[in-house]
Amino acid sequence: MNKKVAFFIFGGTGDLARRKLYPVLEKLYKEGFLKNLVSVYALSRDEGKLEEALSSMDPEFARLIKFYPFDVTKKEDYKIVDEEVKKLGGTEIILYLALPPHLFEHAIVNAGAVLRRHPNPRKIVIEKPFGFDLESAKRLNFQLKRYFTESEIYRIDHFLGKVPIQNILSVRFSNYIFEGIWNKNFIDNIQISATETLGLEGRGSYYDRVGALRDMVQNHLLQILCFLAMDPPAVMSAERIRDEKVKILASIRRFSEEEVDKFAVRGQYSDYIYELGRDSNTETFAVLKLYIENFRWEGVPFYLRTGKKLKEKKTQAVIVFKEIPGNFGKLLGCVPEPNKLIFEIAPSTRVVFRFQMMPPTGLLACTVESSMEVDLARHFGTEPPEAYETLLKDIVEGDQTLFIREDESELAWEIVQPVINRWKDDPEVPLYKPGTWGPKEANEFIERDGRRWVLL
């Protein structure tokens, strides 16, 4: 990377900046990828724990970090951005909004107005959640397009920086044995889960405004669905890949608020309101069933599940293939388990294929389920790079493949908006005990379809 770059990090002393951004930038700098990094501006109201973070950094990199007291809501504070950009000559400016979502619009409008006065190449990076609902997402996109072109906008979803998720496309499109059967003729259902054992962990005021649906389903899980369901692009380029994801989101069957109970279930762990310190109907668990109305996926349900304080921490996508024809099951005297292809994203990074084998008891005995698996770290002899490392490299290089486009962001909100509306004022939230798999309604929801949840 030969061009000069400078990062302006709004929220530069916050948790995200200290835990993720500075360590990754330091690593890329020490490895030589960011050898022409000019400065990292930490803009924040409070210097906070920045000094502590700087003390553990390589001194050469630490010297590049410059702290400025900064209130993102005050227009006069943006004078420092104006003054520093003047000093940077033709350096590329990367604005990184490591901020609470309600502050995004202040930063976009005020920083955008400043950069209009300078000829520097620029990019803006926005953390999720991108908006609070469809209306606010459209408003954010409108403000962004006033000051930046789409090629300068990087709506970040750190899940897409995870190698196991990117590997979904590799496994599909590089192996004809899978891509040839990746359709409604062979696949019965697809399950995408992101379950956690932790509760609020000090994020109560934020989480209670957001809930499980906005926090995980609208962004992370829908993005995994797109990777699983999209058609192969004609050209492996950022725009063509994003075109195919948009086609999937546009093809998902829409349902009305009156139909929500047929397609969604929510829950709240039983001690949530005590942990929060007030009454709340915010969901800490959500399940969505979606159908993609295109030739490849017609009739195949996609189950998206997420929740807090559940039995196990696990992020995975499971492709459940159809059962064998009934006549063969009668011949065996039992029905073999359907084949499953599982992409485990966390806590391990594995691809697992489950299939049937005959035990050593003789021909036509009931088969047993067996597994073949590839652990990515062991197989390739190295741990996959941290998600933010991949994404920050892509931002600097201008590769938007793993970032969310304007139409993509709005379509994702459009899908979940009826659920948001239905749940907003409904005080009846099913409760579940911490350490379980969620409310009983979640099991009933999938069992009504004659299916069950699959976990590694």
Is residue 433 scored above 80 in pLDDT?
yes
Q: How far is CA 70 from CA 13, 155, 425, in A?
A: 11, 23, 37
Q: Of all residues in the chain, what percent carry a pLDDT higher than 70?
A: 97
DSSP string, 380-439: HTSPPPPHHHHHHHHHHHT--TTSB-HHHHHHHHHHHHHHHHHHHT-----EE-TTBSS-
CATH 3.40.50.720 maps onto the chain at 5-127
* Residue from 451, 443, 437, 453 nearest 342 by CA: 453
10 Å CB burial of residue 113 (0-12, 13-18, 19+) is: middle
Place of tokens 């073949």: 372
Is residue 153 scored above 90 in pLDDT?
yes
Please give the pLDDT value at position 362: 61
Q: Which element (helix H / strand E) includes 287?
A: strand 285-291
Average of per-residue pLDDT across 33-47: 94
3-state secondary structure of 365: coil
Average of per-residue pLDDT across 394-411: 96
Query: Under a CB-based contact definition with an 8 Å cutoff, are residues 332 and 366 in contact?
Result: yes
pLDDT band of residue 98 (cuts 50, 70, 90) is very high
pLDDT band of residue 219 (cuts 50, 70, 90) is very high
| More confidently predicted of 401 and 204 | 401
Which positions are catalytic?
220
Query: Under a CB-based contact definition with an 8 Å cutoff, are residues 350 and 374 in contact?
Result: yes
Instruction: Name every residue whose Cβ is closer than 8 Å to that of residue 250 and which is 6 or more positions away in sequence.
Output: 411
Average of per-residue pLDDT across 259-285: 96
Q: How far is CA 334 from CA 26, 125, 354, 355, 370, in A?
A: 58, 54, 18, 15, 16
Rounded Cα gap, residues 194 and 340, in angstroms = 18
3-state secondary structure of 272: helix
Average of per-residue pLDDT across 27-49: 93
Average of per-residue pLDDT across 423-441: 95
**Is CATH 3.20.20.70 what the domain over 160-447 is classified as, yes or no?**
no
Query: Under a CB-based contact definition with an 8 Å cutoff, are residues 393 and 28 in contact?
Result: yes
Q: Of all residues in the chain, what percent carry a pLDDT higher than 90?
A: 79
* Residue from 69, 73, 150, 135 nearest 108 by CA: 73
Domain 5-127: CATH class, spelled out: alpha beta
Instruction: Name every residue whose Cβ is closer than 8 Å to that of residue 149 and which is 6 or more positions away in sequence.
Output: none
Is residue 329 scored above 80 in pLDDT?
no
pLDDT band of residue 282 (cuts 50, 70, 90) is very high
Average of per-residue pLDDT across 193-209: 91
Neighbours of 247 (CB within 10 A): 16
Rounded Cα gap, residues 72 and 104, in angstroms = 9
CA angle 216, 310, 447 (to 5 degrees): 85
CATH 3.30.360.10 maps onto the chain at 160-447
Is residue 330 scored above 70 in pLDDT?
no
pTM above 0.85, yes or no: yes
Q: Which element (helix H / strand E) includes 42?
A: strand 37-44
- Say how far residue 332 (Cα) sits from the centre of its chain: 43
* Residue from 229, 225, 215, 227 nearest 192 by CA: 225
Average of per-residue pLDDT across 330-351: 86
Please give the pLDDT value at position 1: 64
Please give the pLDDT value at position 229: 98
Average of per-residue pLDDT across 313-330: 85
What token pair was written down for 261? Answer: 């109970």
What token pair was written down for 183? Answer: 């359709």
Quote the mean pLDDT of the chain: 93
- Say how far residue 3 (Cα) sits from the centre of its chain: 29
DSSP string, 183-245: STTTEEEEEEEEE-S---TT-HHHHHHHHHIIIIIIIIIHHHHHHHHPPPPSS-SHHHHHHHH
Q: How far is CA 387 from CA 21, 27, 371, 391, 392, in A?
A: 11, 13, 28, 6, 9
What token pair was written down for 159? Answer: 């899940």
Is residue 364 scored above 70 in pLDDT?
no
Please give the pLDDT value at position 328: 64
Rounded Cα gap, residues 295 and 182, in angstroms = 12
Average of per-residue pLDDT across 297-305: 98
10 Å CB burial of residue 332 (0-12, 13-18, 19+) is: middle
Q: How many residues are given for the chain?
A: 456
3-state secondary structure of 255: coil
pLDDT band of residue 324 (cuts 50, 70, 90) is confident
First to last CA, the chain: 41
Rounded Cα gap, residues 267 and 286, in angstroms = 6
